[in-house]
Amino acid sequence: MCYKYYNGNKKLILKEIVHQYVPKKMMDRPKIGFGIPVRSWLQKDLKPQVYMYLDEKYLLNQNIFNEQRILQIKNSFYQGRMEWTDKIWNLLMFQMWFDKWMKSSN
């Protein structure tokens, strides 16, 4: 039991084994996150989905959002205004969720 948790150090045995193969400096640093290429996805691979789910007719039919404002944001994003990346991503994720879970229940 003392090897599982020693002086606040969890996974002591595992770390001792890994230190043989990975530099101690790398293993003992704090955890860090990593980003995902959302902007690139929205500009390339997911662009057809953005245009489908944030289409004026689609938004009007859905009657949830102010479609004119969404269209302004979408157009600004595709004209180079990258500050809208998170908003477009959130809208797309909501629309895809809504399409999967809410449309089928109506």
Mean of the per-residue pLDDT values of the chain: 90
User: What's the mean pLDDT in 3-15?
Assistant: 69
Judge if 46 and 81 occupy the same domain. Answer: yes
Judge if 44 and 95 occupy the same domain. Answer: yes
Judge if 99 and 64 occupy the same domain. Answer: yes
pLDDT at residue 54, rounded to an integer: 98
Taking Cα atoms as reference points, which of 68, 64, 45 lies closest to residue 56? Answer: 68
pLDDT at residue 1, rounded to an integer: 45
Q: What digits encode the pLDDT tens for the residues 63-98?
A: 999 999 999 999 999 999 999 999 999 999 999 999
Judge if 27 and 71 occupy the same domain. Answer: no
Surface-to-core class of residue 65, CB atoms within 10 Å of its CB (0-12 exposed, 13-18 middle, 19+ buried): middle
Looking up tokens 């860090």, which residue turns up? Answer: 32
Work out how many domains the chain is built from and give that number: 2
Does residue 6 have a pLDDT over 70? no
pTM: 0.71
* Domain region containing 75: 38-105
